[in-house]
Chain A
Amino acid sequence: MSQQADSSLRDPTGPLVLGTTVGLRTKDLLGIGDLSSEEILLILDTAEAMKEVGTRPIKKVPALRGRTVVNLFFEPSTRTRMSFEIAEKRLSADTLNMTASGLSVVKGETLVDTVRNLGAMAPDLIIVRHASAGAGHVVARLCSAGVINAGDGMHEHPTQALLDALTIRQHKGRFDGLKVSIIGDLLHSRVFRSNLLLLQKLGADVCACAPTTLMLSGMNRFGVRSTTSVDEAVDGADVIMLLRIQLERMRGHFIPSLREYFQRFGMTTDRLRLAKPDVIIMHPGPLNRGVEIASEVADGPYSVILEQVANGVAVRMAVLYLLAGGHQG
C-alpha cells in the first residue's frame, strides 16, 4: 500500500533519511493505467519534496547511491533522456545511456536479447523508450529490474502525464471538476492517453479536441467529451494542453496541410479569449510554432511550458526513488 511521503524528505539541511518503506505496489511504472489515484498523489507529493533538491548548491542526495540505472532509448529523445539522466544523477545513481545507434539492434539483435543481456548485468532500474506499444511490458517480463516506460509507441508516457499533473496542481491546487482541454493529434499521442487516464482518475473534466481524422476509435468509450471545435474546447477551460502535429500526418491523409491545421486548431491569443482568465497553456514539447501553437502563446503570460520541463526532473526523481524502494544504499 502506498503511504504518506516521508516528511524527512522536506528537511533542507541534511541528506534524505529514508527510514520508512515508501513505494509503489509494483516494481515497474509501465503506464498510468496501472496506478491508483493514491499512488499518483504520492508521486506528486514526493516530487514536490524532490524539487527542493534542485534549489541547493549541491544538487544531490544519496537516495539511489550504488544503484545502477540504465536509460534504454530505442527512439531518439533529447529532452526526456536528459531529464531522466539529471534526475538519476541527483539521486546519486550510476547511470548508463544506451541509445538506438549504440545498441546492437543495428546488428539485428532483438529487443528480447538486448534486454536479457542487459538483465544479466543486474541493473536496478531500466528506463525504456521504444517505438512499439507494449515494449515496456516485454522488458518488465524479461528481467527483474524495475522498468519505467519513457514512451512506448502510441500507448503511454506516464512520467509526462505526472509532470503535467504536478504543473496543474501547482497552479490550480486541485483536479476535481477542473476543465482540461487537450487539443491536437490525439490518435497518435501517448501523452494524450496517459494524461486522459490520469486526469480522469483524479476527477478532472477532460475535453478532447481534434480533427475527426485524428480522434481515437471508440472515443465515446473513453468517457471523455470530444469535439472538433477548438472554440468549444477553449470555452471556460482552466487548462489547455496542446499536442504536436507531425508533418507525416499530411502523408497519411489525416490533415490537408499544416496551414489549414493552424487556421482551424492552432492556439492563438485571440482564440484564448473564451478561456478562463487564469487559464494555463501546456505543451509536452517539442513545439511546432505556427502549427499547433502560435509563438505569442508559447512565450506569453499563460504559458507554463518551461515549468513543465523543470517539473519533469522532480517527477522523475520521485518515480525513481519510489520504485527503488526508497532505501538508502
Chain B
Amino acid sequence: MSLHSILLKGGWVIDPVNGIDGEADILLEDGHVTQLGPELKVRPGTPVVEVPQGCVLCPGFIDMRVHLSEPGYEHKETVSTGLAAAAAGGFTAVASMPNTEPVNDDAGITGLVLARAAEAELVRVHPVGAVTRGLAGERLAELGELREAGCVAVSNGVRSVADANLMRRVLEYASMCGMAVIDHCEDVLLTQDGVANDGFQAAALGLRGMPSAAEDIFVERDVTLSGMTGAPLHIAHLSTRGALEAVRSGKARDFPVSCEVTPHHLTLTDDRLDGYDTNYKVNPPLREQQDVEALLQGLQDGTIDCIASDHEPHHYDEKLVEFDRAPFGIAGLETVVSICLDRLIHPGYLSLTRLVELLAINPARILGVVGGSLGVGSPADITVLAPDLPVTVNAGEFRSLARNTPFDGWALRGGVAASIVGGRTVYANSSVDGAVEFETVTSDQQ
C-alpha cells in the first residue's frame, strides 16, 4: 500500500502542544502528520519540500469569527470567496457565523454551508449555529439538530439576547449539546443608533456614541450567567477594558468563560474617525488608547484566549455612503497574520508560541474541534509563516469580494508563506522566495 507522502524539510516548527520550538522536519502522509522531528529519515523517493529560509511552520490557524455571508448576501461574499480569503490569510479553518439569510438555525442551512465548503476544497468550515430561531432573540433554536448537522458552537450573531432568562436557558441547553455559546455583547438600548465609541472623538465629530458600558454590562451579565449555569461562554470581539476586567474576574472564579479580540481593536483607536472614512466603522467600535493597552495586557497575561478577524465583508457600494448609514464591519481575514506579526511579535509583546495559542490551540479547544497540534496523527493543517516578509496591504488584490479594510496601504513586516489543509496546499505566496515549492504539496501527487 502506498500512501501519498511528502516531507517538509528544514523549517522552524512551533508546536507548543508537543513542546516543539525549533528546526524540525514534518512528514505528511495521506493528509496527516505521521512523523515530526529533526532530520527525519524517510523512504527514498518521498517528495521533499525544502522549506524556504526563515519560514515558520505552525499548527493551522483557525479563525473563530468569520461572516461567510452565504446564503443570502452573496454580493458581499460567498463561501468560496471567503475561504479563498481565509487561505490567503493563513487560515486552515474558519468558524462561520449564523447571521446569513436565511439564518443558520436549522440543519438545512448548516448542510448548505458545509456543502459549499466541500465544493470549494480550500479551508475547513466549522459552522456556528444560531441560538434563537431567526436570530430574533425570542425562542430557542433546535440546538440539538444543529449539533447533529455539524455545528460546533452556537451564537447570537451580531445582536445580544436581551432577555437574561432566555440567555440562561440558551447557555444551559447549548452546554447540554456540547457546544459553547459565542456571544456578541451589546446593550442596544444604550447604543441605540450610535455609530462610534461614545467619547470625545465622537462628540467632536458629531457622531452618535455607543458607550463602552453597553458592552461591559452585557459581558458582566453573561459572565455571571456562565458562572451560574456552569455553561461555557465565549465573548466575541472584546474591545473594552471593563469587559476584559469582567472576563478576568470570571476566570478568577473558575467560570468557564473565554474571549477573543480582533486585530483592529488591538491597533486602532477612535481618533481615526476624523475624515468619516467608513472603513473604520465597526461594531464594537474602535475604542480609546486605554482600552488598547488593556487588551495588550490581557493578551500577555492570558486573560484573552484568541485572536479572531471578525471578518465582516460588505459590498463596496454599501460602504460608500454617509458614515451614519454605512454598515458596520471590517473584512479582516487577509490582514490578521501580518498585523499580528508586525504589531505584536516584532515589537516583543508576544512570542510566536503565544501567537499559536491565540490563533490555533485555543480556538480548537473552545470550538471542540481537532486542531492546534502537529503531533503524530494530527490532520496535516499547517500555517507557514514568513515572519520577515515585507507586506504592503492591498485591498484591491484581496481574494475576498470585499474591500472594506482600514489597513489598505499599510506597510507591515510579516506574512503568510503558505497554507496547507489536509496535506494539500491551498495557498502559496508567490512573494516568498521558494514558496512555490509548497505548490507540490497536493494530495493528488504520486
Tell me whether A138 and B200 are in contact in the complex, defined as CB-CB below 8 angstroms, given that A133-B206, A154-B206, A217-B209 are known contacts: no
Beta-carbon nearest neighbor of A215 in chain B: B203
Distance of A130 Cα from B323 Cα, bound (Å): 12
A193 at the interface (CB under 8 A from B): yes
Decide if A134 touches B199 in the complex (CB within 8 Å): no
Q: 21 A-B pairs, CB-CB below 8 angstroms?
A: A110-B317, A110-B320, A111-B322, A112-B320, A132-B322, A133-B276, A134-B275, A134-B276, A135-B322, A137-B275, A137-B276, A153-B324, A154-B206, A154-B207, A156-B206, A187-B203, A190-B206, A217-B202, A217-B209, A222-B200, A222-B204
Beta-carbon nearest neighbor of A111 in chain B: B322
Decide if A217 touches B322 in the complex (CB within 8 Å): no
A152 at the interface (CB under 8 A from B): yes
Contacts of B206 in A (CB 8 A): 133-134, 152-156, 190, 193
Query: How many Å from the CB of B92 to the closest CB on chain A?
Result: 39
Interface residues of B in 125-146 (CB under 8 A from A): none
Interface residues of B in 286-328 (CB under 8 A from A): 317, 320-325
Q: Could you say which of B199, B208, B321, B324 contacts A112, with CB atoms under 8 Å apart?
A: B321
Interface residues of A in 142-201 (CB under 8 A from B): 152-156, 187, 190, 193
Distance of A193 Cα from B203 Cα, bound (Å): 9
Contacts of A132 in B (CB 8 A): 322-325
A221 at the interface (CB under 8 A from B): yes
Distance of A222 Cα from B202 Cα, bound (Å): 12
B42 at the interface (CB under 8 A from A): no
Interface centre among A135, A138, A218 (most CB of B within 10 A): A218
A216 at the interface (CB under 8 A from B): yes
Interface size on B, residues (CB 8 A): 21
Decide if B325 touches A217 in the complex (CB within 8 Å): no
Contacts of A111 in B (CB 8 A): 321-322
B176 at the interface (CB under 8 A from A): no
Interface residues of B in 181-226 (CB under 8 A from A): 198-209
Beta-carbon nearest neighbor of A154 in chain B: B206
Decide if A218 touches B203 in the complex (CB within 8 Å): yes
Contacts of A134 in B (CB 8 A): 205-207, 275-276, 322-323
Query: How many Å from the CB of B34 to the closest CB on chain A?
Result: 56
Contacts of A110 in B (CB 8 A): 317, 320-321
Contacts of A131 in B (CB 8 A): 324
Distance of A325 Cα from B301 Cα, bound (Å): 59
Tell me whether A133 and B203 are in contact in the complex, defined as CB-CB below 8 angstroms, given that A138-B276, A217-B198, A217-B209 are known contacts: no
Query: How many Å from the CB of B206 to the closest CB on chain A?
Result: 3
